[in-house]
Amino acid sequence: MLAFRESIIFIICITCSLGSTDFCTKYGDKIECQEKSKFTRYILYDVNPPEGFNLRRDVYMRMSVFARKMQQNFGDWHLVLPPWGQLYHWQSIDVGLQELLPWSLFFNVSSLQQFAPVMEMHQFLQEIGTSSLDLVYILQHYADAFESGKWEEKFEVEPCHEDNKYTHVNVGNYRGPFWGYTNITAKQVECLSFHGHASQLQEVIKDLDARTIMFDHAEIALHDTFGDALYWKARRSMRFASVLVKLASNFRSEYLNSTDKADGTVRPDDWTQETPREGVLGGPYLCAHMRRKDFLWGRPKQIPSLESAAHQIKDHLEKLKLSTIFIATDAPNSEFQELEQHLSQYQVLRYKPSKIVKQTYKDGGVAIIDQIICSHARYFLGTYESTFSFRIQEEREIMGFDSETTFNRLCGDKEKKCNKPSMWRIVF
Ligand SMILES: Nc1nc2c(ncn2[C@@H]2O[C@H](COP(=O)(O)OP(=O)(O)OP(=O)(O)O)[C@@H](O)[C@H]2O)c(=O)[nH]1
Ligand SMILES: [Mg+2]
């Protein structure tokens, strides 16, 4: 089947049918043409390499809204899910390669597909039967983007402002990072200065003939709308892979006396059936997400010492009349142990994956299990400006927790004005 597919040559046929541009496929001597609007076409994307997992989830939301609109307005467009890999935070060396990971490892792909026409990269490669993309746009900010002060949606192909990792091998053949696939190339690569919402990308590609178009630095395109019902639909469709939910549930029931039934967090399997909820109880524990590592020097004023964090946690536990605390953190074990010592009169827990769970679901899966456990807690304390914490807050909004139990954070030791995080309330 694959060999047959590989022998197919896709060509753009300008004259096949009365002046309209069709896509034609050559099978041996025979050419079959189809109207462009009926032909399956693909949008691919990638994100600035240093960005973490949880910002990438946000970029996905922008691209899924865009792809959904492309399909509604301009024919059979699909969004190809960029494989996960080589993230800065994924530092475990005992879990095998952490690259080319499919979305199904972390998310429920059928759930995503109920919001937008998405597919995994392996399915794309099988369907398209070629690994040469028609066109890559590297998005870049306008050189004067932040000078004029006037908001204006615009885009244009311009010389690249910065070096990039795409190299021109010969005519119609570029090599590039392509998520770590060494066999993927591109026929054309352009820098596209871009200012505006992700949906403006519709204007960029709607009249093109290219069948496979990739946007690199997709994070440059903004959310169409932030915080409205469509935004939250995209967000709600991002259900985690059921096996990760199960692993988190097992931990909750075994160590935290927490079950969906008792906590009031039973949800329909299908997110489209979800309705607004409020006053959800959550499990009898407090969760603190303590972001450490690079945040210690990146946001030194807002990240507390372990001693101060323990004090703050104690205060909350007393008020809430709870005695169990779950810690989600990227801290090394030595820091966790120090924190435990400061909280010796309480039950302090951390999720420790079995060897097999860690090998299978890797750092990304373990982080998601931490997030799921935190999202079910009676009370959540996050870290200042951590997207990891933001995603937990959103999950709690979806489940229907009171916002006072969700939008809280740990404060820096000498922070004069420790403002609460902004409340992004769910909209249905
Ligand atoms: N297991 C686990 N991993 C964590 C935890 N906190 C951070 N990490 C790891 O560090 C990564 C955090 O990076 P991001 O997703 O960029 O979130 P962030 O760094 O908090 O936020 P920004 O960089 O400000 O966007 C996660 O994806 C995890 O790999 C945690 O509580 N538990
Ligand atoms: Mg980060």
Q: Establish if 327 belongs to a structural domain.
A: yes
DSSP 222: B
Output phi, psi for 175, to 5 deg.
Answer: -100, 160
pLDDT digits (tens, 9 = 90+) for 13-23: 443 444 445 77
What is the structure's pLDDT at 31? 78
pLDDT digits (tens, 9 = 90+) for 301-319: 999 999 999 999 999 999 9
The tokens for 333 are 């074990």
Q: Give the separation between CA 257 and CA 368, rounded to whole angstroms.
A: 20
Residues in contact with ligand 1 (CB, 6 Å cut-off) = 52-55, 89-90, 289, 291, 328-330, 363, 366-367, 370, 385-388
The reply to whether 301 and 258 lie within a common domain is yes
Pocket test for ligand 1, best of 55, 87, 89 (most atoms within 8 A of CB): 89
Q: Establish if 226 belongs to a structural domain.
A: no
What's the chain's length in residues? 428
What is the structure's pLDDT at 26? 66
The reply to whether 173 and 246 lie within a common domain is no
The tokens for 408 are 């809280």
The reply to whether 257 and 355 lie within a common domain is yes
The reply to whether 355 and 212 lie within a common domain is no
Atom of ligand 1 nearest to the CA of 52: 16
Tell me if residue 51 is catalytic. Answer: yes
The residue among 192, 220, 248 that closes a domain is 220
The reply to whether 128 and 192 lie within a common domain is yes
Q: Establish if 229 belongs to a structural domain.
A: no
The reply to whether 140 and 82 lie within a common domain is yes
Q: Establish if 331 belongs to a structural domain.
A: yes
Ligand nearest to the CA of 55: 1
Pocket test for ligand 1, best of 47, 51, 54 (most atoms within 8 A of CB): 54
The reply to whether 249 and 131 lie within a common domain is no
Kindly report the CATH number assigned to the domain that includes residue 395: 3.40.50.11350
Q: Report CA(404)–ligand 1 centroid distance (Å).
A: 23
pLDDT digits (tens, 9 = 90+) for 186-241: 999 999 999 999 999 999 999 999 999 999 999 999 999 999 999 999 999 999 99
Q: Give the separation between CA 424 and CA 282, rounded to whole angstroms.
A: 19
Catalytically annotated residue among 6, 32, 35, 51: 51
Instruction: Give residue 106's domain range.
Output: 40-220
**C-alpha distances out from residue 29 to 7, 26, 34, 110, 258, Å:** 12, 7, 17, 39, 65
The reply to whether 2 and 90 lie within a common domain is no
Q: Report CA(50)–ligand 2 centroid distance (Å).
A: 8
pLDDT at 424 over 50: yes
The reply to whether 298 and 164 lie within a common domain is no
Q: Establish if 362 belongs to a structural domain.
A: yes
The reply to whether 341 and 261 lie within a common domain is yes
The reply to whether 32 and 45 lie within a common domain is no
